[in-house]
Amino acid sequence: QKEVEQDPGPLSVPEGAIVSLNCTYSNSAFQYFMWYRQYSRKGPELLMYTYSSGNKEDGRFTAQVDKSSKYISLFIRDSQPSDSATYLCAMSLYNQGGKLIFGQGTELSVKP
């Protein structure tokens, strides 16, 4: 079983839709939960960062962490064609010096 599971998609939505992306994980010791956006043939860029359980909102993006269910989500409101990219969830332990464990990534396409 992979430590972090993410549906690879692809996911196609119309412009303006609400997008829901999810990851599950097996290691209950993870404390840091991140979402990265990766455009084709580029490196990932950090979108959202959450420590422990709860919600965090930044503009059109909302990240949720449910540690009891080992489940994290990223919601994108009013999706735009420019949001088309691969979204990777990533997790980290406190004492591992920044080592990140990534999910497989979900490929999102927002159609005009």
Partner 1 sequence: GAVVSQHPSRVICKSGTSVKIECRSLDFQATTMFWYRQFPKQSLMLMATSNEGSKATYEQGVEKDKFLINHASLTLSTLTVTSAHPEDSSFYICSARGGRDLVREQYFGPGTRLTVT
Contact pick of 34, 47, 63, 76 for partner 1 (by CB under 8 A): 34
Rounded Cα distance, 49 and 59, in Å: 14
Q: Which is nearer to partner 1, 39 or 78 (CB)?
A: 39
Contact pick of 14, 28, 43, 82 for partner 1 (by CB under 8 A): 43
Rounded Cα distance, 100 and 4, in Å: 11
Rounded Cα distance, 70 and 57, in Å: 20
Rounded Cα distance, 81 and 103, in Å: 23
Does position 8 interact with partner 1 (CB under 8 A)? The reply is yes
**Where on the chain is the footprint of partner 1 (CB under 8 A)?**
4, 6, 8, 32, 34, 36, 41-46, 49, 88, 92, 97-105, 107
